[in-house]
Amino acid sequence: MSTSKTITFTLFIATVLSSCNAAANATAQPLFPAILIFGDSTVDTGNNNYHSQTIFKAKHLPYGIDLPNHKASGRFTNGKIFSDIIATKLNIKQFVPPFLQPNLSDQEIVTGVCFASAGAGYDDRTSLSTQAIRVSDQPKMFKSYIARLKSILGDKKAMEIINNALVVISAGPNDFILNYYDFPSRRLQFPHISGYQDFVLKRLENLVRELYSLGCRKIMVGGLPPMGCLPIQMTAKFRNALRFCLEQENRDSVLYNQKLQKLLPQIEASLTGSKILYSNVYDPMMDMMQNPSKYGFKETKRGCCGTGHLETSFMCNAFSPTCRNHSEFLFFDSIHPSEATYNYMGNFLDTQIRGWLEA
């Protein structure tokens, strides 16, 4: 069976099983005691709302329009993002709160929070332009979280939760968009993309090792999506009226992911008691783009908000026209997937995680 057909079949089976088990899952035991999330806007559930300096925020409509309260929450899509969907599927909680949200309850702390910041990257230079909370600074927030958790549960129980929590790391696209492709500030230092990839991967490795030193043991690390198929990247390429995916950027993503898949087992082997999972986002997203009708998508080359070519963050706002049926668009804005896309991704990765636990 081809990779494309395998991915499609896996997603279909996962979706059917998810639907059939919905009632059972409501009372099922969580697969992890907590979820802890680091990275960028793909997993930021609203930290940037409380970080005054940052440029990228999603605390205005149409972001959040399909959430239960129909209000923007800081999530860069029309509804739930990947963080919430995975937490729900693993029976941990329905929504993962941002750590910077004031007045978090003890129960929210105990079951996990999000430290991610939209616009962040592994490369600290990325956050210089976006004023996001650098990925390298997110462990500082985590240390504050650990202190709060210990004050609630005591040292021993708190560390048991951290040792067994699912840690999700999702970042990387901002590094390449803001430092290499669209604004080539790193090209002088790294004339070849391979060198910059190695630099980014070293930063990622440093993060994993720091989180391990703080007690994290079960870590899922996301790869890059097909970067050349992001609507904003299609727009950035002049004379691309037909909006083809940029094949060189996609090849770069594949190479980065291959390096990451080779690196993670090496890190795991050097960290006693760790389990590290590579999260494949490239193949399922590419399958959705190549076979949109299988997923109910009618548009894959532009976002639902505005023209769908450039709009994101403050450019996607209450004055922007939006598509009629959000679930028919793979992307909600020019960078971020729609809730429908995140749901399909969640089905695929839920299957990956459950297989990882049984291995």
The residues annotated as belonging to the active site are 41, 333, 336
> Do 327 and 315 contact (CB within 8 A), yes or no?
no
The four Cα atoms 59, 129, 285, 76 give a dihedral, to 10 degrees, of: 0
User: Which positions ≥6 away from 91 have C-beta within 8 Å?
Assistant: 25, 28, 29, 30, 31
Helices (H) and strands (E) in the chain, counts: 13, 6
Measured CA to CA in angstroms, residue 239 lies from 100, 219, 227, 306 at distances of 42, 41, 18, 21
First to last CA, the chain: 23
Residue 99 tokens, joined = 């750590």
User: Which positions ≥6 away from 259 have C-beta within 8 Å?
Assistant: 197, 198, 201
3-state DSSP assignment of residue 16? helix
The four Cα atoms 57, 60, 65, 67 give a dihedral, to 10 degrees, of: 60
